[in-house]
Structure 1
Amino acid sequence: MIDVYSSARAMAAAIAAREISARELLDLHLARIDQVNGAVNALVSIDVGRAYAQASAADDITASGAQLGALHGLPYAVKDTHHVAGWRTTFGSPVMADHVSAYDDLVVERVRAAGAVVVAKSNTPEFAAGSHTFNPVFGTTLNPYDTGRSAGGSSGGSAAALASGMVALADGSDMGGSLRNPASFCNVVGLRPSWGRVPTWPTWNLWETVSVQGPLARDVGDLALLLSVLAGPDPRVPTADSTPGGVFADPAPVSLGGLRVAFSIDLGGAFEVDSEVEAVVRAAGAQLADAGAAVTDAWPELPEAETTFRTLRAWLMEYALGDILDAHPDAVKQSLADNIRAGRPLTGHDVAVAYAQRTVLADHARAFFEAYDVLVMPVSQVPPFPADQEYPHVINGRPQESYVDWMRSAFFVTVTGCPAISVPAGFTPEGLPVGLQLVGPAGSERRLLAIARAYEELSGAGIGVGGPRPSL
């Protein structure tokens, strides 16, 4: 029997077998949205009429006997930083509160072509800045496991909607951890792909390598299904990887016996990790060792990661948002305004140095993965924190001075160019989710998904593999 927590793969199979219609599946999800979205505030700009029109069209295609797309009839949420033609797209900013998109972003083109039924946008922090989802347009997205806690960000609306059973699949984007952190906080799965794996169009800079778009789901198999749709070349994006997206669908789990696992809590003391997170991550390492993996304490040396990320982030934000800050100085949150202003003194030499450092970091990672199959480490340095904080200010007594300081465990990986996936690993004593970050060599998504699927089965913590669901 299909319900809102069935896998996306099972839902798609049931529609194809005519065991349930797209409209009936939408009915289930809209009822769930009515039941729980008020408590978590994950979905925004919900358009019931448009969703039913899409579902009816999907049912007509099913009845015609035509070949069905990979996501045919599946209720779907698009991050509110991705354009959907005719749909309100606010970026979580009062400056954009009434903006209606005139076109679909490429990722939206692809999911619609694959048959997905777009139900809503998912909430995001202002211009996707920060790993806690709140904004002055729609308010704060709360954690389904504890509605006094953060759902993470910046793809927090997507992760919370999935964890709450409001949609089958959702997308997001990731600069410093925005696909991985909310997945960790909400006990779902999120993948930051290698650069070029999921092409972005339209874009102001085809060669921008820090921010990527990607999938979120309740289990690795569903995430792989969505990646198979999002990935692949496009003639408008010459920097896209040429591998067809279909190769990523449904990867079989690898054998963990003999898997070469590099294990690290803090990349050799590069950042602080909360003791409760550390305990869950260490237990995961022990599970892998007990399953036959060769687990070694090891990590790549990434001394340039901090300055590289901060320089590129500031430069990119100043270029993208500097004019908005100048025109609306009182309509931009202080932390974002500070980040934009940090980009203004940067010189061409500063930016060139950051890209040169990023080249070195990528080479360090390449050499490191000659000896290891996967790096295992925390996704987030803290468990979900109180929702009335913008960010955690202290970890183990060490001050976190900005809204990105506490995300080093994610953004140090960003600047290596390696793909990284957050997979549910367990819970703190208070019942708050903790994700495990699995990092592979550049371009290794299919292998990484297979490893993640094996770990997911071993852990059993995720919603999609029988782990605890939120009690909403």
Structure 2
Amino acid sequence: MSELIAATAREVVAGLRAREFGPAELLKALEERAAQVEPVVNAIPERFFDLAHRAAEGIGAEGDPARWLAGLPLVVKDYNDVAGVPTSMGSPIFAGTPAPESDAMVRRLEANGAVPFAKSNVPEFAGGHTYNPVFGATRNPWDPRLTAGGSSGGSAAAVAAGLGWLATGNDLGGSLRTPAGYCGVVGIRPTPGRIPRRSPKVPFDGLWVEGPMARDVRDAALMLDAMVGWDPHDPLTSPDLPGSFLSAMSGYGPPRRVAFSPDLGLLPVEPVIRERTERAMAAFEHLGATVEHACPDFTGAYDTFQTLRAELVAASHGPLLGEHRDRIKPDIVWNIERGLRQGTDAVLRAQRRRGELFHEVVRFFDDYDVLVCPTAPVMPFPVERHWPTEIAGTPLDTYIDWIAITFFVSLTACPVVALPCGLHEGLPVGVQLVGPPGSEARLLAYAAELEAAAGVAGRLPVTPRKHG
């Protein structure tokens, strides 16, 4: 069973197709693994193995190429619906109410052979650190005293700790990329419209996307292949599907011109993050790339994102305030109220600046193949802290200020691959590889080159040890 847990998703899918084992054996291995490490990390507090076994009975392994995952068990983030399982969103308001059906993204994965068996822990509604009043805090498998990041912290921790080969994530301001960096796994924030979303309340919003999380780049590409698709309730999706990203990766060589920025020109970043991420660029230089310190002009991005995020949070969760205000985390109440009170002028300015930034970034990629920057400006912090209040001596005002290095990029509609670039004192350090809209396959090829040099993927899964 330990050999199955340590295998890549690609190896496990190959074994399923060859009928070397079936989903039942994989679910048994995961149940044993959960008993061993879940008490330490608290990554998948909602597990439903009985439902998963019943679902797996209907999946054969005949090698149908449309069924990419062939019965592979899957962890689903607890912001997404799985039929018959509660979607708590980390809130006591929603805990315990089963979803009547799986949402669009999960249905796509199920149709492609995935077998959901667990829900991963999340922050209450949103946030960069995974803790909530329903299930408590998720801990980093590399050091359980520390945060796994958020909001896809449960998914990242589960994949890193061998509680699943693949997990779903989603990303508004960095919710997929921050935990990928902290837990040493790979996360993809795709171009908006690649993956259908769960009947979005604000259907034309392009800040929030769904994405895969895996232990290595090629496993993440495999999962992306199983997630892309069209849904009539998500107007950003298209019925014209791309070919396989996993296959297309082989068609690209290393990048020629790499833009690296430790701070996107504006942001406070701890010295260790600056040093460790810049050192990783030697891998691209070794492949013949020219690495330059450069980035688009992100002036105004902070206010732009804070305004647009507040508008989205208020549109999505504002109706809850009247009845449930006392049951909602104060940070979320603040975010909703900001969205409700900010003026039309502020929203219009933000929309205009986002448009200007988008065009500036597209022009930037006329000169560079990829932009590289850190996934977080600080190393993982103690799990008891809600969020960092300062970075490198610069005080922070809100619970999302510290993830500005990811939410600046969210404004651009560009795809991003987040992955570890190395270790510092035994903990992963991550980078974002950003490319022009639609460039996922090329970014994955670049990420695979960096991954080979970093060597972190070969150390997964980690078995967490409880610290006294």
Show CA shifts across 1:288-345 (max 9, x none).
2133111011110011211110001111111211221221121111111111111121
1:139 maps to which of 133, 136, 160: 136
Give the AA of the match of 1:428.
H
Contact 2:203 2:233 in 1 (8 A): no
Q: Distance in 2 between matches of 1:198 and 1:96?
A: 25
| Counterpart residue number, 1:157 | 154
2:257 maps to which of 256, 260, 265: 260
Give the unaligned 5+ runs of structure 1. none
Give the AA of the match of 1:80.
D
SS at match of 2:340: coil
Compared CA separation, residues 467 and 71, structure 1 to 2 (3 A):
closer
Matching of residues 340-355 of structure 1 within 5 Å: 340-355=336-351
Contact 2:56 2:71 in 1 (8 A): yes
What TM-score, normalized by structure 1, do the two folds share? 0.94
Matching of residues 28-427 of structure 1 within 5 Å: 28-58=29-59, 61-62=60-61, 69-127=67-125, 129-250=126-247, 251-252=249-250, 254-256=252-254, 259-268=256-265, 270-427=266-423
- Displacement of 1:420 in angstroms is 1.1
Contact 1:461 1:468 in 2 (8 A): no
| Counterpart residue number, 1:13 | 14
Give the AA of the match of 1:189.
V
- Displacement of 1:65 in angstroms is 7.7
Give the AA of the match of 2:44.
L
**Aligned length, in residue pairs:** 463
Give the unaligned 5+ runs of structure 2. none
Contact 2:200 2:234 in 1 (8 A): no
Contact 1:277 1:428 in 2 (8 A): no
Contact 1:26 1:55 in 2 (8 A): no
Compared CA separation, residues 66 and 323, structure 1 to 2 (3 A):
closer
Contact 2:160 2:461 in 1 (8 A): no
Q: Distance in 1 between matches of 2:93 and 2:300?
A: 35
Contact 1:378 1:436 in 2 (8 A): yes
Q: Distance in 2 between matches of 1:168 and 1:412?
A: 30
**Sequence identity of aligned pairs in percent?**
42
Give the AA of the match of 2:311.
W
- Displacement of 1:253 in angstroms is 7.4
SS at match of 1:195: coil
Give the AA of the match of 1:216.
M
1:459 partnered with 2:454: yes
Contact 2:17 2:63 in 1 (8 A): no
Q: Distance in 2 between matches of 1:148 and 1:253?
A: 42
SS at match of 1:94: coil
Show CA shifts across 1:373-422 (max 9, x none).
00011011111110000011121111122111111110010111111111
Show CA shifts across 1:185-214 (max 9, x none).
100001111111112241222211111111
Give the AA of the match of 1:325.
L
What TM-score, normalized by structure 2, do the two folds share? 0.95
SS at match of 1:203: coil
SS at match of 2:418: strand
CA RMSD of aligned residues (A): 1.8
| Counterpart residue number, 2:430 | 435
Compared CA separation, residues 172 and 210, structure 1 to 2 (3 A):
same
SS at match of 1:377: strand
Q: Distance in 1 between matches of 2:371 and 2:63?
A: 45
